[in-house]
Chains A and B, each alone.
Chain A
Amino acid sequence: MKRWQRRRLYAAVAAWTVTAALIAPFLWMVLGSFKTTVDFLAFPPVFVFAPTLDNYRQVLADNSFLRYTLNSTIVAAGATGVGLLLGVPAAYALARWRRTAIGVVLLMARMAPGIAFLIPLFVMFLQLQLVGSYVSLIASHLIFTLPLTVWMMVGFIEAVPVEIEKAALIDGCSILGVLLRIIVPLTAQGIAATGILAFIASWNNFLFALVLANDNTKTLPVAVLGYIGYNSIQWGTLMAAATFITLPVLVLALCVQRYIVRGLVAGAVSG
């Protein structure tokens, strides 16, 4: 074997080992979701077993779980939609007229702990009798979907050649017309990627829903905690629920993998 071939082989083995180790928890999760309790309690763990769909049946038979799925979808779609509606025009202004103040706001939003907004929002929503409403959840999720949208869209809009806009303006098109007829169609792909990232961020958010949701509006990340009881952990059902929650996100993320890191730079508000 030539030297460069050997090097390529070593690199492949090492890189694939690392990757396999990183995705092993997902495989274990999916595998576990098909196990019966008996298989789950076996040690050493079994890798080959008669798969069962009971765990999924149990998760999906639970009406409240479907309710939580609907809640998660409503909140994530709402926070994404409103974020895009408000964020795209702002990103356009930022990209073309360069208002640096917005950049400072974005950095502040990225640094601020979520809890610093959550405590006052909780008190405010309580006074407005909005705690437990979708409105409170969507509004609070704007804290991260809006900065993420602006940040991502500025990059996409800056890549649009300005001559097209100039021509449209001279032909008598209004700024709003330019935004709707030129910017939005030309950055459609970017808008889709941004929307997906905002959706993921909102879908994954735990703390805000923990505080602002009630039993009717609870979202999936909070609901999954219910499978860890004080005495018993329903392992199989927990794995099935975790698979059910994460799988859509993983699929969506793979669709926009090129933009993930850029989104995380602006988007991941933890806590």
Chain B
Amino acid sequence: MADLAAAPTREVTTRRKRRDWTPELLSLPALLAVLAVMGFPLIYLGWMSLNRWSMVGFEPPRFIGVRNFIQLGEDARFVEALGRTFWFTALGLASNLPLGLGIALLMHERFPGRSLCRALLILPMVATPAAMGLVWVIMLDPTLGIVRYVLGLIGISHPPLWLADPDLVVPTLVAVDAWMWTPMVALICIAGLAALPSEPFEAALVDGASALQRFRYLTLPMMLPTLMVAAMLRLMDLLKLIDIVYVMTGGGPGHLSETINLYNYLAALSYDKIGYGSAIALVLFAIVMACTLVLIWLRRPSS
């Protein structure tokens, strides 16, 4: 469609027989802004990562080469945060994708109030994460929280401490993140389901395939590209998880829920190790990019 649309305009504009700079001029302001707030800062970040750099203490930045990056390998707190971030990401993907697809299949059915249901699905993902994180802290309160009460109703009388439990703090945060973002996965899947052709399903029905078989051999393979898009979006955000961790646990208990992004923030801006923090930020950027590219590569047409 874009090709068809672009052709006539091009014809009109190239009649002037000159290099046409219109598109460049139109995008120049945006390009300059991108350079100012993104391009230049990234280059600066690269330079800072090669320096010992602090804002207080009046000590001028000192060039130390790649020593910040070498130090990363020896920093147990960084290595742990790295592993933990992958754990967050794995748990997040493993919960968001099946749940999202499940909700989508449900919302794909015909039932009264379907469009209202779908509209309400958007609420968790647009609500201010910092505020909702705090609301969840109150709901998860081990003594007075509504979660304890609801679990009590179904017979679980001694629920864990959630955010204060060293083993459960990460899954609990993943659950809150899942509450926010599984609906997005679901909405993406709903759009994907709506675009599926109906003929294969009709044929399968005629051939007597069971619901399970239809799901396994038709829905799932045909939904794979959609799921990959959802997985990619979730992957990028889970690897960068910070907001709810910051407000809900601050990385605690101890450092047991600290993600790379949170450690990155603390190292650079709380502990004033700007150079070291820059190195972490570059590594985090590289990790997000590498993981996303792997996923794009997995998504490539297999033929």
> Which residues of A are in contact with B by a Cβ distance under 8 Å?
7-9, 11-12, 14-16, 18-19, 22-23, 25-26, 28-29, 32, 40-45, 82, 85-87, 89-90, 92-99, 102, 105, 109-124, 126, 139-140, 142-143, 146, 150, 158, 161-163, 165-166, 169-170, 175, 179, 200, 203-204, 206-207, 210-211, 220-222, 224-225, 227-228, 233, 235, 238-239, 241-242, 245-246, 249-250, 253-254, 257, 260-261, 264-265, 268, 270-271
Contact = CB atoms under 8 A, between A and B. Distances in A.
B122 A257 contact: yes
Contacts of B132: 25, 29, 242, 246
Given A97-B22, A224-B134, A250-B127, 20 more contacts: A19-B117, A32-B138, A89-B26, A90-B31, A99-B23, A113-B281, A115-B261, A115-B265, A119-B45, A119-B269, A120-B278, A142-B37, A143-B38, A207-B243, A233-B137, A235-B138, A238-B134, A254-B123, A270-B241, A271-B242
Contacts of A96: 5-6, 9, 23
Interface in B25-52: 26-27, 29-31, 33-34, 36-38, 40-42, 44-45, 48
A85 B246 CA distance: 33
Interface of B: 1-2, 5-6, 8-10, 12-13, 22-24, 26-27, 29-31, 33-34, 36-38, 40-42, 44-45, 48, 53, 55, 103, 106-107, 109-114, 117-132, 134-139, 143-144, 146, 148-149, 152, 179, 183-184, 187-188, 191, 229, 233, 236-237, 239-243, 246-247, 261, 264-265, 268-269, 274, 277-278, 281-282, 284-285, 288-289, 292
Contacts of B247: 206, 225, 228
Given A90-B29, A126-B55, A238-B138, A15 B48 contact: no
Q: Which of A102, A120, A126, A163 has the most CB of B within 10 A?
A: A120
Contacts of A143: 37-38
Contacts of B42: 112, 116-117, 120
Secondary structure at chain A's binding surface: helix, strand, loop or mixed?
A: helix
A158 B1 contact: yes
B33 A265 contact: no
Closest A-B pairs by Cβ, 3 of them: A90-B30, A11-B109, A12-B111
B265 to A, nearest CB: 6
B270 to A, nearest CB: 10
A22 B240 CA distance: 24
Q: Which of A11, A94, A95, A225 has the most CB of B within 10 A?
A: A11
Contacts of B24: 93
A235 B143 CA distance: 14
B127 A113 contact: no
A90 to B, nearest CB: 4
Contacts of B240: 113-114, 270-271
A242 B131 contact: yes
Contacts of B187: 260-261
Given A112-B288, A249-B126, A254-B119, A11 B138 contact: no
Contact of A268 (B5, B114, B237): B237
Given A16-B113, A163-B8, A253-B123, A93 B128 contact: no
Nearest to A162: B5
Nearest to A72: B128
B27 A250 contact: no
Given A16-B113, A200-B126, A28 B135 contact: yes
A239 B107 contact: no
A245 B24 CA distance: 40
A100 to B, nearest CB: 11
B157 to A, nearest CB: 12
A94 B129 CA distance: 32
A117 B48 CA distance: 12
A257 B121 CA distance: 9
Nearest to B278: A119
Contact of A253 (B9, B37, B126, B229): B126
B128 A246 contact: yes
A85 B6 CA distance: 23
A170 B125 CA distance: 46
A86 B29 contact: yes
Contacts of B191: 261
A93 B135 contact: no
Contacts of B137: 228, 233
Nearest to A12: B111
Contact of B130 (A7, A179, A225): A225
A83 B6 CA distance: 24
Contact of A260 (B10, B122, B139, B261): B122
B206 to A, nearest CB: 17
